[in-house]
Amino acid sequence: MMSCHRRQFLQLLASSAVLAAVPLGSIARTPALTAATPMGLPQLILSRALADERVQTATRGTELKTWRDPDQLRAWLARAEVSLTAMPTNVAANLYNRGVPLVLLNVCVWGTLGVLGLAQQGPLTRLQDLAGRHVGIPWRGDMPDLVFRYLLQRQGLEPGRDLTISYQASPFETVQMFVAQRLDAAVLPEPARTATRLQARQFGAETRELDLQQVWAGGDDESPGLPQAGVVCRRELLEQQPQQVAAVQQAVVDAVHWIVQNPEAAAELGAAQSALSRPVFAGAIHRTRLAVVPAAQARSQLESFLGALSALSPAFIGGKLPDNGFYLPAADGRRAG
């Protein structure tokens, strides 16, 4: 039996599922701020940010809810129970294109994806090393799948001809198959990748890893990575409580800086706030590219990223790139740079 509960693994990657859009209600005119986040590093970032003195001063208190699955977040949005959340950039774009009045404040997660391979299968320093192997991916058509297939295509590798890809209904199933060595490799984001590596080691299996952000950038360590996730708010919050949005934007900058500069303390804090262990948080922090870039400044890279993936699946972002209304204007986000 695996030591990690099924729910934990579902929570690890819930943030990568595409949400169906729903109409939003109006935000109550109150200085209180209710936010939502998936488990993992977004939870750590937002919890640290909401505790910031500037945010506390701008509000009459804050609440951070942890959504266990996309359906729960969708319901909270529909009932206007949350006004700020962390989510994958493609999910935010999809919701916006379906009529949900969201505003992207920043991109703060620039790469969590990697390929975890069994060491016994040989080296894993480039995508070509996966030739002839069986690779598992959770949730067909989601970000890990599209990033991986895009990179394969760019390298001239074809699933079914050069390697075998199978899709699992959940990250838990992918991890279970990998640890049982029914897969040669698995495409996973953090913190699931770290949790899987640690668990595989408990079962006597050594692993190797390939960072997909480096593959995307062609090995350029100076590349900012993939604009995978950020903080969004409902437009009503920006219009009715701009001081809260400004305070949160600055607090997120400081929270991410603190996490990057103090990974051990951040891992301890993360473990104290969730069911994930300190080693899982420590590994996830080490393998995730974190940097806060205001939405307007990140737009070019985000459009390039989303455009490339939507060429494989237009529904990924709701059929088109978001227009100007999706991005927090530079004048409102300039201090976050």
CATH code where residue 254 lies: 3.40.190.10
Residue 334 has pLDDT above 60, yes or no: no
Over 80: is that where the pLDDT of 70 sits?
Answer: no
Considering the domain architecture, whether residues 161 and 256 belong to the same structural domain is answered as: no
Is 184:35 a contact under the CB 8 Å cutoff? no
Token output for 197:
């590596």
Q: Both 158 and 211 in a single domain?
A: yes
| 307 and 325 in a common domain | yes
Residue 17: pLDDT band with limits 50, 70, 90? very low
Write down the pLDDT at residue 249: 97
Query: Of 157, 190, 216, which closes a domain?
Result: 216
Most confident range (mean pLDDT) of 177-186, 214-223, 324-333 is 177-186
Question: CA separation (Å) from 55 to 64, 271, 335?
Answer: 13, 23, 15
**Is the per-residue pLDDT at 278 higher than 80?**
yes
Where is the domain boundary, 216, 246, 272? 216
Asked whether residue 230 falls in the same domain as residue 291, the answer is: yes
Give me the mean pLDDT over the 139-161 stretch. 95
Lowest-confidence pick of 178-187, 197-206, 217-226: 217-226
Which residues, listed in sequence order, are joined to residue 274 by a DSSP beta bridge?
none
Domains held by the chain: number:
2
pLDDT value of residue 171: 85
Residue 336: is its pLDDT beyond 50? Answer: no
> Residue 1 domain-assigned?
no
Q: Are residues 256 and 212 in the same domain?
A: no
Residue 191 lies in a domain: yes
Domain end among 173, 194, 216 = 216
In this structure, the answer to whether residues 200 and 127 fall within a common structural domain is yes
In a domain, 57, yes or no: yes
User: What's the whole-model pTM score?
Assistant: 0.87
Work out the percent of the chain whose per-residue pLDDT is above 70.
Answer: 87
**173-201 mean pLDDT:** 95
Residues 106 and 119 in one domain: no
> Helices 41-50 and 263-273 meet at what angle, rounded to 10?
90
* pLDDT exceeds cutoff 70 at 24: no
* Same-domain pairing of 128 and 92: no
Percent of the chain with pLDDT over 90: 75
Retrieve residue 236's tokens: 């009503």
71 in any annotated domain: yes
Domain that holds residue 237: 6-111+225-336
Residue 220: per-residue pLDDT:
64
Q: Are residues 124 and 95 in the same domain?
A: no
pLDDT(314) > 60:
yes
Strands of 164-168's sheet in order across: 164-168, 134-138, 185-188, 114-118, 207-211
Cα–Cα distance for residue pair 21/245, rounded to 1 Å: 23
**Is 3 a residue whose pLDDT tops 90?**
no
Same domain, 97 and 230: yes
Q: What is the pLDDT of residue 39?
A: 87
* pLDDT-wise least confident of 5-9, 21-25, 75-79, 288-292: 21-25
Residues 151 and 201 in one domain: yes
Residues 104 and 151 in one domain: no
pLDDT, mean of residues 215-234 = 85
**Residue 14 forms part of a structural domain:** yes
Domain-embedded: residue 248:
yes
pLDDT (average), residues 4-13: 42
